[in-house]
Structure 1
Amino acid sequence: MTIDRRTFMNSLAVSAGAAFLPEMESLAPDFPISCNQYSWITFYAREGKEWGADLDASLKEFASTGLKAYEPAFTHADEVGRLLPVLEKYQLAMPSVYVNSSLHKADEATKSIESVLAIADALKPANTKIIVTNPNPLQWGGSENKNDAELAEQAKNLDKLGAELKQRGMTLAYHTHDVELRAAAREFHHMLLATDPKNVSLCLDVHWVYRGSGNSQIALFDIIKLYGKRIVELHLRQSKDGVWQEAFSDGDIDYRRLVTTLKSMNVTPHLVLEQCLEKTSPKTVGAVEAHRQDLVYVKKVFEV
């Protein structure tokens, strides 16, 4: 049987993708729907307030929405100890956390990995299972992309961090914003293709992938097709006509299709709301009401 070049190349692409899609043990079925602190930061900022300035008051409002789990961001291990008693007071779980990392330079990476592991050790009393990290770009808001050597260094260190966390019974989930989708998405793809799926999973920030690829659902669902088996967490946000809305609802991204696609792949990720505000977002409801609406919609769409 003869085979033309196009058919042969397509078969190679499918085989290569499949090689990086092992069956991943589902972490999330027992996790309650969570919410990232960043969405609250944006709502509070709009009202001229600072989220966490009074940690007790902030988390009291958080809990009043009906949310049962919180995904904070940490930069230092000592921040964990201050948060734990307040979470306990309001009976909030912390299945996942977001941590900062800088992994594209060897000297910075060593310190960064040590910092993340110190945070992970401090999280033991909370039974946290997923550590989400978005490795720093060269400059936040900048236009310069990492070169090949920096990408190779970052992938090596990302895998190393994931292996260390795995030994602690935790899963490292790689997260992106839009910058990683520039230049043929070379940073995004290399972080997943050059790391071991056993060490590095994916936190799919659905809207940043959509926005970073030029508001493309084709690109979003292609990425899910390629790496869906590595998804352990979703960050959930919606827009209408490209603008972030106050509450998670119907809009630009077809979340019902996303649910159906993940179910067909037998993928059950941890659900984390991150319905943030930007300058052009509507202003009709406050933080508490918006997050109550988020919960109603996500339960309906994800059937949880």
Structure 2
Amino acid sequence: MSTPLSRRSFLKQLGFTAAVSALPASSFAGFSAAVPPGMKIGYASITWGGNDVQAIKDIASLGFKGIQLRANTLETYSQKPDELRQLLKEHNLTVPVFSSGNVNINPAEKQVHMDKHIKHAKFLKSIGGGPYLQLTNNARPKDRQPTAQELKDIGKLMTEIGKRTADEGITVVYHNHMHQLGETPQEVEQIMEATDPKFVKLLLDIAHYHQGGGDPVKAIKQYKDLIHVLHLKDVQPLANSGENARTYKFVELGQGKVDMMGVFNALTEIKFKNWGIIELDGVPDKARSPLQCAQISKEFLQSKVGFKM
């Protein structure tokens, strides 16, 4: 016997159906792959713009078991981590990855950054999360290409941080990123060569890697022993509307140009068993909510990649 939907649930479902129906028919075409056995998939809170409580509720409502929180979480919970830990427990969520923010190779800022990330590692441990602490960087020059020494320095600095966070049982993962050191495949390779693989692993963001001129499928195979986290993410090119205009935007899975079929086939080939985190920096279509965006990506994974919650 079926249970009648509440008005609220009905409206949520209606909104989701409308959002999916509005997408082009080709959105999910051409995909045929499978999630590797043992791979775990979570969702990142970034789309909710700092509203962590709503992100936790929405992500849990979709059946995901992992959430990636960001450093802004400390503003609310640094003095009451038990409260966050209880909230996560109530919604059956863990925090396998924590976005710790940037590192900077400026010697004057080194200790500040070291202290910040060690503090974040301790916080992640206190809420029962981990084992991964995500690092990015803000050191890319604006008027030139980065030097080999700068790429080497960022790798060495992350290794130093990784040695310290390892004392807390937390592993540093480096997140490749547009407009930072590590924008291109060549830069990612140089940075990873400068790290100690015992203390720094790779969080491969497939959309940033694609936008930076790389092939995520090849990267998965190249870094198969270093990838411990994947950002499952898609990107769509935009028409150039000015010198300073952004030429791309991040979109729900299956809506952009990333070779998702190839990505999941490559993950199966390397027998990937760690975390894939669906990430969407912001809502690409203001007619949709963060929850509806998450539903679209979940639907893509379920219907085209065989993901089961």
C-alpha deviations, 1:168-189, integer Å up to 9, x for none?
A: 222211102123355x645322
Which residue is equivalent to 2:187? 187
Q: Is contact 1:104–1:151 with CA below 8 Å preserved after alignment?
A: no
Indicate the residue corresponding to 2:53 in structure 1: 56
Distance 2:259 2:185 in 1: 22
Q: Does 1:71 align with 2:68?
A: yes
1:268 maps to 2:267: no
CA 1:76–1:102: 2 relative to 1, 3 Å = farther
Whether contact under 8 Å (2:206, 2:230) holds in the other structure is: yes
- So what's the TM-score if we normalise by structure 2? 0.71
Map of 1:130 onto structure 2: 132
In structure 2, distance between residues paired with 1:103 and 1:247: 31
CA distance in 1, matches of 2:53, 2:48: 14
Gapped runs of 5+ residues in structure 1? 1-27, 42-50
Mind listing any 5+ residue stretches in structure 2 that lack a counterpart?
1-36, 239-247
Shift of 1:201: 0.8
Q: CA deviation at 1:128?
A: 1.5
Partner SS, residue 197 of structure 1:
coil
Residue 239 of structure 1, CA deviation: 3.5
Q: How does 1:19-34 map to 2 (within 5 A)?
A: 29=38, 31=40, 33-34=41-42
Instruction: Kindly state the Cα deviation for residue 205 of structure 1 after the two structures are TM-superposed.
Output: 0.5
The AA in structure 1 aligned to 2:64 is L
SS in 1 for 2:224: helix
Any conservation in 2 of the 1:76–1:115 contact (CA below 8 Å)?
no
Matches within 5 A, 1:62-101: 62-74=59-71, 79-80=77-78, 81=81, 83-101=84-102
SS at match of 2:252: coil
- In 2, distance between residues paired with 1:283 and 1:211? 23
Q: For the residues of structure 2 that align with 1:222 and 1:85, how far apart are their CA atoms?
A: 40
Give the partner amino acid of 1:292. Q
Identity rate of aligned residues, in percent? 19
Q: Given that residues 77 and 115 in structure 1 are in contact (C-alpha distance below 8 angstroms), is that contact kept between their aligned partners in structure 2?
A: no
Q: What's the Cα RMSD here? A: 2.9
Structure 1 residue identity aligned to 2:193: L
Aligned to 1:225: 221
- Per-residue deviation at 1:196? 1.8
Shift of 1:228: 2.5
User: Which residue does the alignment assign to 1:119?
Assistant: 120
Q: CA deviation at 1:66?
A: 2.9
Partner SS state of residue 102, structure 2: coil
Q: Letter of the 1:221 partner, please give it.
A: V
